[in-house]
Amino acid sequence: MFDDDKVLNTLTSKVNDLLARYDDLSRANEELHNQIVTLKAQNEAKTNQIMRLEEELNKKNNEADDVLKKIEAVLNK
């Protein structure tokens, strides 16, 4: 009887330890998931910002090319 109680107590202790570990890992997993969601949103925002800046740069380059063509046209007269 004593051995049965000892085995039962040992198993109960191990199950409780496993449940506590599972809860810890579940919380850690949730935190990591939230970080991933946040980082994905930040990445998308930065990607959009880069695209906007590239468009602005292309526009400025085109404007600079137009000005250069006008200057060249004036100088060639």
Q: pLDDT for 41-53, tens place per residue?
A: 999 999 999 999 9
pLDDT at 63: 98
Q: Above 80 in pLDDT, residue 25?
A: yes
Q: Residue 1 pLDDT more than 70?
A: no
CA 41 remoteness from chain centre: 6
Q: What average pLDDT score do residues 30-35 get?
A: 99
Number of folded domains in the chain?
1
Burial of 66 (0-12, 13-18, 19+ CB in 10 A): exposed
Total number of residues shown for the chain: 77
- Which residue segment(s) compose the domain that 35 sits in? 1-77
